[in-house]
């Protein structure tokens, strides 16, 4: 005995409950890659910050080393000149060399000040690099934990979708192929909601107010009635 339209609509209503769940699960599943990407981006940013801190430290250490070598060279030159100072024969030669030695010593004093400032800067850079390293480690740990959680959720949700898809198979054989085709088409185009009840004389899918004639036709249940605004199938909700 053929199933009446009214009975088929009831089946569609039950099928819709399953499909709404499937749609929601798939929607959440589609969002997970973006969530993981956000966490990965945060991790990469921390890595970039750590690399920048390390690079800054290396530059300062290199500058410190250069200044120390420059100071050492000039100190050796001072010693050499001081050793030659008392071997000079004229006062003029002595005065010229003495002036040069004083100039070198003045330069050395400035270099020592620069080195002290660089030592402070290096210490600060080391502390910054150490902190950035800790942040990278923490972010990496968070990434692994979140990745694990998301993978478990994805696995669980995929399993739920499989169960629901299997469940919906028991409904589809009792629906007229043409009606099922219409239902599926609307389902894909309307965010997983293809059939909705009339509530307060309005379509509960798009909330558009329906005409009295449309409401009466839905109540009569003699033919399929579609919402003129969102094209969803309408049914009467007692």
* Residue 162 backbone phi and psi in degrees, to 5: -60, -45
Contact 167, 11 (CB under 8 A): no
Q: Which of 5-9, 158-162, 163-167, 215-219 has the lowest mean pLDDT?
A: 5-9
Q: Given a cut of 90, is residue 4 above it in pLDDT?
A: no
Tell how far CA 153 is from the center of its chain. 18
Rounded distance between C-alpha atoms, residue 49 and residue 88, angstroms: 58
Rounded distance between C-alpha atoms, residue 191 and residue 206, angstroms: 12
Which helix (H) or strand (E) segment holds residue 147: the answer is: helix 91-168
- Give the DSSP letter string of 42-104: HHHHHHHHHHHHHHHHHHHHHHHHHHHHHHHHHHHHHHHHHHHHTT--SHHHHHHHHHHHHHH
Which helix (H) or strand (E) segment holds residue 236: the answer is: strand 233-236
Q: Given a cut of 70, is residue 45 above it in pLDDT?
A: yes
Please report, for the chain, the start and end positions of each structural domain, with discontinuous segments joined by +. Answer: 28-167
Place of tokens 């020592």: 112
Q: Which of 195, 227, 222 is nearest to 209 (CA)?
A: 227
The mean pLDDT of the chain is 92
What's the pLDDT band for 207 if we cut at 50, 70, 90? very high
Q: Given a cut of 90, is residue 79 above it in pLDDT?
A: yes
Choice between 238 and 171, residue whose per-residue pLDDT is larger: 171
Q: Given a cut of 80, is residue 2 above it in pLDDT?
A: no
pLDDT the model gives residue 224: 93
Q: What is the CA radius of gyration of the chain?
A: 40
pLDDT the model gives residue 36: 85
Measured N-to-C along each axis, helices 5-85 and 91-168 cross at an angle, to the nearest 10 degrees, of: 170
Q: Does domain 28-167 have CATH number 3.30.1490.100?
A: no
Q: Which of 82-96, 106-120, 183-197 has the lowest mean pLDDT?
A: 82-96
Q: Encode pLDDT of 116-163 as tens digits.
A: 999 999 999 999 999 999 999 998 998 899 889 989 999 999 999 999
Which helix (H) or strand (E) segment holds residue 202: the answer is: strand 202-203
Task: Tell me how far apart the terminal alpha carbons of the chain are, to the nearest angstrom.
Answer: 26
Cα 236 to Cα 6, 91, 137, distances in angstroms = 10, 119, 58
pLDDT the model gives residue 174: 87
């Amino acid at each position: 005995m053929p199933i009446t339209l009214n009975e088929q609509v009831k089946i569609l209503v039950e099928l819709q409950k399953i499909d709404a769940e499937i749609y929601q699960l798939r929607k959440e599943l589609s969002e997970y890659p973006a969530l993981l990407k956000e966490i990965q981006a945060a991790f990469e940013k921390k890595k970039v910050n750590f690399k920048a801190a390390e690079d800054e430290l290396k530059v300062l250490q290199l500058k410190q080393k250069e200044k120390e070598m420059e100071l050492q060279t000039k100190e050796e030159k001072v010693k050499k000149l001081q050793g030659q100072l008392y071997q000079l024969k004229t006062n003029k030669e002595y005065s010229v060399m003495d002036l040069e030695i004083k100039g070198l010593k003045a330069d050395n004093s400035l270099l020592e000040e620069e080195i002290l400032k660089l030592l402070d800067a290096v210490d600060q850079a080391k502390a910054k690099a150490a902190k950035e390293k800790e942040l990278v480690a923490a972010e990496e740990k968070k990434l692994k934990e979140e990745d694990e959680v998301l993978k478990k959720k994805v696995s669980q949700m995929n399993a739920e979708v499989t169960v629901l898809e299997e469940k919906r198979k028991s409904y589809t054989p009792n629906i007229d192929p043409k009606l099922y085709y219409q239902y599926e088409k609307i389902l894909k185009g309307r965010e997983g909601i293809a059939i909705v009840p009339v509530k307060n004389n309005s379509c509960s899918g798009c909330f558009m107010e329906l005409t009295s004639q449309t409401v009466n036709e839905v109540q009569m249940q003699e033919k399929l009635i579609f919402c003129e605004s969102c094209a969803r199938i309408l049914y009467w909700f007692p």
